[in-house]
């Protein structure tokens, strides 16, 4: 018996598709069989399985468990919850060798997918392609695994609260914070967490609803932060925090309603962490502001620019022993007194802790950051066969010029005006562009350089692609 996946489903960082069109129960079963086969070959046996609040998630979970057990792995079912709760179940249990979360992350409601951990490391790239190869050949191991249920929600919340250890609770008692779960899987954990946090907390949309009736759970889109902004304004709160659909990406606004982007949050976390761990490596992806890298160096840290993608960042953290990393998309990774995975709820706790330890409000910390002009992430459609080739052409054209080029992930060019970025998405048939400058005129010049490079490769920036 073999199985063939739809060609769009096996992606660089995870597995994702449209329910009933490109992804279904048979795919979940094949993923379970492939993952179990690889884990057993590596000497592992037990897999934790969790799922988010999407309507299709229980169906996929049932089929995944069938696949895992029929290839000889034992399964620990941790139930519905945010992706970081599954990561916690895998990282904190001595008897668990891998983990799979069924989640569509921040995608529309008809999507779903799988994020995986394999013996404590991210499972992505070539690992995911190997799942496809095993399925095509039907080269799965056979066996009969057991299934048990394990409650981890309470322990997970308790572990997050440790992020406030050593801080005087009196200092935190006047804190007033707004939270928006966006009807995503973080809702139940958030309710328990905020009930135990000092201060006053106001929560929006904690009821899990896979149809996302209030707004789409993607905190990188300003329109999805409007409800939170209104709450912060009406209640005169100190700041607000929002989550994506599976709780591994954070969004934030300060007390004045200003968005605190992913790289700006990292500046706050870095300032807090580097006081106790001077000289530490802090990783951010190529889309992050130059202000972040300069600030980390100014604070005595070692800034490291790396490739976009949560799996790639986690791997680089392990390699460099970096205690902190983050992405513009809101993935933040703490490995100093935590496990190194991206957990937006824990990142919320650490924002509270950072402000308390630094003795400044989140609004003051945000207000002290340099004012720069930058574009949102611009994404535009390009044929799959052309996206990487186009980036290579840009690199070749820039060779031999006096351009300051970083090709860690695509092309990031620094000029007197600021910087611009062009990279190929690993998960979609799009190119991604971004630019940042101190002035409107500088930003215009940078955008013209992007347009010139695209035109030279027969492309244009005009055709914006949806997320």
Which residues are known to be catalytic? Answer: 105
Burial of 279 (0-12, 13-18, 19+ CB in 10 A): exposed
Apex CA 249: angle with CA 175 and CA 60, to 5°?
Answer: 130
Question: Cα separation of 314 and 229, whole Å?
Answer: 31
Q: At what angle do helices 262-276 and 290-298 cross, to 10 degrees?
A: 10
Give the Cβ contact number of residue 320 at 10 Å. Answer: 16
Question: Cα separation of 305 and 17, whole Å?
Answer: 30
Question: Cα separation of 15 and 77, whole Å?
Answer: 20
Q: Dig out the tokens for 298 from the structure.
A: 């100014």
Question: Cα separation of 134 and 30, whole Å?
Answer: 9
CA dihedral 405, 406, 407, 413 (to 10 degrees): -50
Q: What is the DSSP letter of 299?
A: T
Give the DSSP letter string of 397-430: HHTTSS-EEE-SSSEEEEETTEEEEEEE-SSSSE
Give whole-number Cα distances, 230 to 194, 237, 258, 316, 451, in Å.
Answer: 19, 10, 12, 38, 37
- R_g (Cα) of the chain, nearest Å: 22
Question: Cα separation of 431 and 389, whole Å?
Answer: 11
Question: Cα separation of 260 and 262, whole Å?
Answer: 7
87 close to 53: Cβ distance less than 8 angstroms: no
E strand or H helix that includes residue 431: strand 430-437
Q: For residue 363, report the phi and psi dihedrals to the nearest 5 degrees.
A: -65, -40
Indicate the SS3 state at residue 19: strand
Contacts for 231 with CB less than 8 Å, ≥ 6 apart: 178, 180, 202, 204, 237, 240
Contacts for 36 with CB less than 8 Å, ≥ 6 apart: 47, 67, 68, 69, 70, 71, 72, 73, 140, 141, 143, 145
């Amino acid at each position: 018996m073999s199985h063939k996946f739809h060609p769009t489903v096996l992606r660089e960082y995870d597995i994702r598709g449209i329910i009933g069109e490109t992804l279904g129960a048979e795919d979940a079963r094949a993923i379970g069989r492939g993952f179990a086969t690889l884990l057993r070959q590596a000497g592992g046996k037990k897999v934790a399985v969790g799922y988010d609040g999407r309507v299709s998630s229980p169906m996929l979970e049932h089929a995944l468990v069938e696949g895992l057990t029929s290839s000889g792995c034992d399964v620990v079912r941790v139930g519905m919850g945010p992706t970081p709760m599954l990561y916690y179940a895998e990282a904190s249990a001595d008897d668990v060798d891998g983990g799979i979360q069924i989640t569509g992350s921040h995608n529309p409601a008809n999507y779903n997918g799988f994020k995986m951990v394999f013996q404590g490391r991210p499972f992505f790239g070539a690992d995911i392609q190997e799942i496809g190869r095993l399925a095509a050949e039907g080269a799965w191991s056979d066996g009969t695994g057991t299934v048990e249920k394990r409650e981890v929600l309470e322990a997970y919340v308790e572990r997050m609260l440790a992020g406030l250890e050593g801080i005087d609770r009196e200092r935190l008692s006047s804190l007033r914070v707004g939270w928006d779960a966006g009807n995503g899987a973080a809702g139940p954990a958030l309710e328990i967490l905020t009930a135990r946090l000092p201060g006053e907390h106001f929560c929006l949309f904690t009821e899990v609803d896979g149809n996302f009736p209030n707004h789409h759970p993607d905190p990188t889109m300003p329109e999805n932060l409007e409800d939170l902004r209104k709450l912060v304004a009406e209640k005169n709160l100190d700041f607000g925090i929002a989550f994506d659909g599976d709780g591994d990406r954070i969004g934030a606004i300060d007390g004045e309603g200003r968005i605190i982007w992913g790289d700006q949050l990292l500046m706050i976390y870095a300032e807090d962490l580097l006081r106790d761990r001077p000289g530490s490596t802090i990783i951010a992806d190529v889309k992050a502001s130059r202000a972040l890298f300069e600030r980390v160096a100014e604070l005595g840290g070692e800034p490291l620019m790396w490739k976009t993608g949560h799996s790639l960042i986690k791997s680089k953290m392990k390699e460099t022993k970096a205690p902190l990393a983050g992405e513009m998309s809101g993935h933040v990774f703490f490995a100093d007194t935590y496990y190194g995975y991206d957990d937006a709820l824990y990142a919320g706790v650490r924002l509270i802790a950072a402000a308390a330890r630094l003795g400044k409000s989140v609004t003051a910390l945000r207000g002290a950051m340099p004012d720069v002009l930058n574009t949102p992430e611009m994404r535009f459609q390009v044929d799959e066969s052309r996206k990487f080739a186009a980036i290579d052409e840009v690199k070749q054209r820039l060779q031999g010029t006096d351009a300051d080029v970083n090709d860690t992930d695509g092309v990031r060019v620094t000029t007197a005006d600021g910087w611009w970025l062009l990279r190929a998405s690993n998960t979609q048939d799009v190119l991604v562009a971004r630019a940042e400058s101190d002035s409107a005129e500088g930003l215009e010049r940078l955008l013209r350089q992007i347009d010139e490079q695209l035109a030279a490769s027969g492309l244009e920036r005009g055709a914006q692609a949806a997320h």
